[in-house]
Structure 1
Amino acid sequence: MTKRRPDETPEQPAVRETLVSRACAWCGAPVGYSGNGRPPRYCSGAHRRRAWELRSAQDRADAPVDAGGRSPDPVREVVLRTETVVRSVPVAGPPAPAVRLSGAPHTLPEDAVEWVQALAYLRRTAPTHPGLSPFLQQLARACERTARVLREADTALAVDDQAQE
């Protein structure tokens, strides 16, 4: 048995602690540690950036107002108020359906005689008809295109007839 001095402490067993994992400082998920280097504080780079953004935003907010920090004055708001009034406006019903000269409901002409009658009616009424007056140029162009197609078809039929003879 060894005598000890009064100022000596009894021998302590050597205890070695090794960090194996820690919790992420952002989300609390476990973060592994291999034992080399500084232990990681965050489980991912995204969480490290979020924590830095939060710390730097707090530092900026705590800075003096002239350095870009928060003002202790209450926030003042400018509000643009728009008022919309909804009105009901009566709308005229659908236009009366067109009728033929005979009084029958309007349909497209079914044969050459009806087409000739319809075009004759258009020729007589278009120049003085108040509903058509804004559209006279468009009507004239449409009639010219139709006439051109009919002439071309007539010419093609005449060439076919000559070829068959």
Structure 2
Amino acid sequence: MAGCTWCGGDVTRSSTGRPRRFCSDEHRKAWHQRVKTLRRQVDHYKDLGAANAEPYRSYWLSCAADAQAELTNLS
């Protein structure tokens, strides 16, 4: 058994097919929604960083880096 990608809980595995990543449809949907939101945030923060002068530029680029790090941890 492997852990659920969203909560870390137990995921039952069927004897055939691809291994499951989530323990429920709710967790699968929550994970996909969070990934979608983080991708949008990264793009938005990068745009804000490009459009603003210092010190705001470094703040928005830092926000983009934080969102990218969380996105990487979820994948």
| TM-score bucket (shorter structure) | 0.5 to 0.7
Asked if residue 51 in structure 1 is aligned to residue 34 in structure 2, the reply is no
Tell me the TM-score normalized by structure 1. Answer: 0.28
Give secondary structure in 1 for the equivalent of 2:11: strand
The one-letter code sitting in structure 1 at the alignment partner of 2:33 is E
Deviation at 1:57, TM superposition (A): 1.1
Q: Which residue of structure 1 aligns with residue 66 of structure 2?
A: none
RMSD: 1.8
- Give percent identity, aligned residues only: 30
Name the CA distance, whole Å, in 2 between partners of 1:25 and 1:39: 12
Q: CA deviation at 1:52?
A: 0.6
How big is each residue's C-alpha offset from its partner over 1:10-65, in whole Å with a ceiling of 9 and x where there is no partner?
xxxxxxxxxxx2110111111000121111100011111111111111111122xx
Tell me the TM-score normalised to structure 2 length: 0.58
* SS at 2:40 equivalent: helix
Aligned to 1:8: none
Alignment match, 1:159: none
What's the counterpart of residue 21 of structure 2? 41
Unaligned runs of at least 5 residues, structure 2? 50-55, 61-75
- Larger CA Rg, structure 1 vs 2: 1
Q: Which secondary structure does the structure 1 equivalent of 2:29 belong to?
A: helix
Distance across 1 between alignment mates of 2:35 and 2:25: 15
How many residue pairs get aligned? The number is 50
Matched, 1:29 2:29: no
Query: What is the 5 A alignment of 1:90-101?
Result: none
Greater relative contact order (Cα < 8 A, sep 6+): 2
CA distance in 1, matches of 2:14, 2:33: 27
Alignment of 1:1-165 (within 5 A): 21-63=1-43, 69-70=44-45, 71-72=48-49, 73=56
